[in-house]
Structure 1
Amino acid sequence: MAEIEINGGRVVYEFVGPDDGEIVVLTPGGRFGKDYGGLHELAGALAGGGKRVLLWDRPNCGASDVQLFGRSESHMRAETLGLLLKKLDTGPVVAAGGSGGARDMIVFTILFPELVTRLAVWSIVGGTFSTMSLAGVYVLDELRAVRMSGMDGVLRLPAWAGLVKANPRNHDRLVAIGAEEFERVMNRWLDAYVPKANEVIPGVPDWEFAGIRVPTLIIRGGERDFDHPKRTSFEVHALIDGSILVDPPWPEDAWERAVEASLAGTGSLFDPWRQAAPLLLDFIDGREVAALRVAEPPPPSGRGEEGTRNG
């Protein structure tokens, strides 16, 4: 494990796998750090396939420093990763991530196309329910706390108290940010989670997907995974030209069962991700993967061109 300063904050990271392996950045979701269950298992499996996996604690995750800047939290993380890779002089990498990490890697690929050779994403958040749920998880409690009790209230929130416990520097960093700036940033970040007709995923306008021009693998969401809807996978596939959409390598209810295991203390949310290693290795190495056949959209309602124009 190592750390490096990016934009005035320390970022904790580590490499797993052979020194000469192709670098794969593996990014989890939520505000989970690199040591959360399931991540090292997937990293180890990719390393067994010859890859050098970069695991990192994004700002506001794990043992890295708290930071608040950027259009959204995902944009802040994407900028941080771009500067991290440039400081480490890694050259272009494979960007891979699930859940919130999928969004982070999509934004990273848009912002730093020169640093990405391939993009692989799964468990993508989208749609009204999951997007508004994220507002509750990441922003609304923060706004209530800072408005009622200032930074003392923020520091009492379990998520931010946990960041201070993992990294005591974060106490003084949060106090230095101050209530006014904290509230201002949270209000800006909240906007990403307001569902919009032109944003398939939170905070990323649909037109920006045109900037993704690398080979892209999208693992479809589960049949009833309301946090990572199946529909969103198809919509992202439609927005990224040439992307490959595949069925999940885990059971359709893997997310629901992982949530149950996490709540019961018998597992972690990302435990199923290890099952994606063979698929990811095939994609990264350029081997053929079994793409999901998506039916062509039906023609207009049979009225012909004139009916279409007048409809």
Structure 2
Amino acid sequence: MARIAAGGLELDYELIGPGNGPPLVLTPGGRYPRDTAGVPELGQIFAEHGYRVLLWDRPGCGASDIAFTAPSESVMNCEALVALVGVLGLRNITLVGGSAGSRISLMAAARMPENVRKISIWWISGGPVGLAGLAWFYCGDQIAAASKGGMEAVVQLPSWADQIARNPGVRDTLLAQDPWDYIDTMQRWGKAFGYSDESPVPGMAPEDFARLTMPIQVFRSGRSDMAHTRRTSEWVHELLPNSQMFEPPWGDDEWNYVSTFPIDSANRRGRFERWPLIAPMVLDFLRD
């Protein structure tokens, strides 16, 4: 475990696996930290198969810092990843991620396509209602709190409790914001999740997908998954020049099923706890 300055922020990360192994970046979803149940377990499987695995906390997640200067939270995260990969000197990387981690992987790859060997993604957030839900989940409670009680109310929100406990500097950064400027920022960040008929992934234009000519593994979302719609996964596959569509190793109702799981890191429970099930299919795809 370590912290490093990258892109103007201090990011918390861990590298596991053989030092000379091919680098693989594993990015979780939500605002969940890198030690969320299922994520390090999946990373350990990759490490045991020879990969040098980067587990990292995105800005505003876990113990990493946060800033509010980027045009969207997703841009902040993907640019942080590009900067982190550069500072660590990782070359010819593989990007693996689910949910928000799939979006960040695609956006980061579009900014450094020459440095990405392969990509594997699942649970790609999308659809009009699914994206509207993200805007509210990530930004709505922030706006409501700031408008009623200023930044003192924002730092009391449950959505920041874990980050502040791990990194008290996050509280200081939040309290340093002018509440009305913060509301404006959250409005912009919320708008960035808006659905478009031009692209399935907010922050990715059709020409961004066209740049991703490396082999990409796309797992089809379940028909019952309204957060990561099936059509979103199929649309992403259609836009990518060199992708393959795979059926996931779980049933159609997987997202609805795991959404009932308790978030309990101590007992290794949570929405990502079954992610290790995907490892054999990802490893098979990553073989040269």
- TM (norm. structure 2) is 0.94
| Matching of residues 260-279 of structure 1 within 5 Å | 260-262=260-262, 267-279=269-281
**Deviation, structure 1 residue 199:** 2.4
Relative to structure 1, the CA distance from residue 185 to residue 92 in structure 2 (aligned partners, 3 Å threshold; closer, same or farther) is farther
User: Given that residues 118 and 216 in structure 1 are in contact (C-alpha distance below 8 angstroms), is that contact kept between their aligned partners in structure 2?
Assistant: yes
Question: What is the aligned partner in structure 2 of residue 88 from structure 1?
Answer: 88
Question: What is the aligned partner in structure 2 of residue 281 from structure 1?
Answer: 283
| CA displacement, residues 210-245 of structure 1 (integer Å, 9 cap, x when unaligned) | 121111110111131111111111100000012101
Aligned residues: 286
Moved over 4 A (4+): 263-266
Instruction: Tell me, in whole angstroms, the C-alpha distance in 1 between the residues paired with 2:69 and 2:251.
Output: 38
Question: What is the aligned partner in structure 1 of residue 198 from structure 2?
Answer: 198
| Matching of residues 23-38 of structure 1 within 5 Å | 23-38=23-38
User: Given that residues 7 and 79 in structure 2 are in contact (C-alpha distance below 8 angstroms), is that contact kept between their aligned partners in structure 1?
Assistant: no
Question: What is the aligned partner in structure 1 of residue 228 from structure 2?
Answer: 228
Structure 2: where are the runs of 5+ without partners?
Answer: none
| Matching of residues 153-172 of structure 1 within 5 Å | 153-172=153-172
Instruction: Tell me, in whole angstroms, the C-alpha distance in 1 between the residues paired with 2:249 and 2:63.
Output: 31
Matched position secondary structure for 2:69: coil
**Deviation, structure 1 residue 266:** 8.0
Question: What is the aligned partner in structure 2 of residue 4 from structure 1?
Answer: 4
| CA displacement, residues 138-194 of structure 1 (integer Å, 9 cap, x when unaligned) | 011111211222111211111123321121111111122332432232122111222
| Matching of residues 61-210 of structure 1 within 5 Å | 61-210=61-210
User: Given that residues 11 and 57 in structure 2 are in contact (C-alpha distance below 8 angstroms), is that contact kept between their aligned partners in structure 1?
Assistant: yes
Question: What is the aligned partner in structure 2 of residue 291 from structure 1?
Answer: none
Higher relative contact order (CA 8 A, sep 6+): 2
Matched position secondary structure for 2:188: helix
Relative to structure 1, the CA distance from residue 23 to residue 263 in structure 2 (aligned partners, 3 Å threshold; closer, same or farther) is closer
Matched position secondary structure for 2:213: coil
Question: What is the aligned partner in structure 2 of residue 43 from structure 1?
Answer: 43
Instruction: Tell me, in whole angstroms, the C-alpha distance in 1 between the residues paired with 2:117 and 2:222.
Output: 27
Instruction: Tell me, in whole angstroms, the C-alpha distance in 1 between the residues paired with 2:105 and 2:241.
Output: 17
User: Given that residues 36 and 268 in structure 2 are in contact (C-alpha distance below 8 angstroms), is that contact kept between their aligned partners in structure 1?
Assistant: no
Instruction: Tell me, in whole angstroms, the C-alpha distance in 1 between the residues paired with 2:89 and 2:141.
Output: 38
Question: What is the aligned partner in structure 2 of residue 292 from structure 1?
Answer: none
Instruction: Tell me, in whole angstroms, the C-alpha distance in 2 between the residues paired with 1:76 and 1:101.
Output: 13
User: Given that residues 7 and 80 in structure 2 are in contact (C-alpha distance below 8 angstroms), is that contact kept between their aligned partners in structure 1?
Assistant: yes
**Deviation, structure 1 residue 30:** 0.3
User: Given that residues 62 and 166 in structure 2 are in contact (C-alpha distance below 8 angstroms), is that contact kept between their aligned partners in structure 1?
Assistant: yes
Structure with greater Cα Rg: 1
Letter in 1 for 2:256: E
User: Given that residues 219 and 248 in structure 1 are in contact (C-alpha distance below 8 angstroms), is that contact kept between their aligned partners in structure 2?
Assistant: yes
- TM (norm. structure 1) is 0.88
RMSD of the alignment, in Å? 1.6
Instruction: Tell me, in whole angstroms, the C-alpha distance in 2 between the residues paired with 1:114 and 1:67.
Output: 27
Question: What is the aligned partner in structure 2 of residue 301 from structure 1?
Answer: none
User: Given that residues 7 and 84 in structure 2 are in contact (C-alpha distance below 8 angstroms), is that contact kept between their aligned partners in structure 1?
Assistant: no
Letter in 1 for 2:142: E
| CA displacement, residues 270-304 of structure 1 (integer Å, 9 cap, x when unaligned) | 11210111111111113xxxxxxxxxxxxxxxxxx
Letter in 1 for 2:21: G
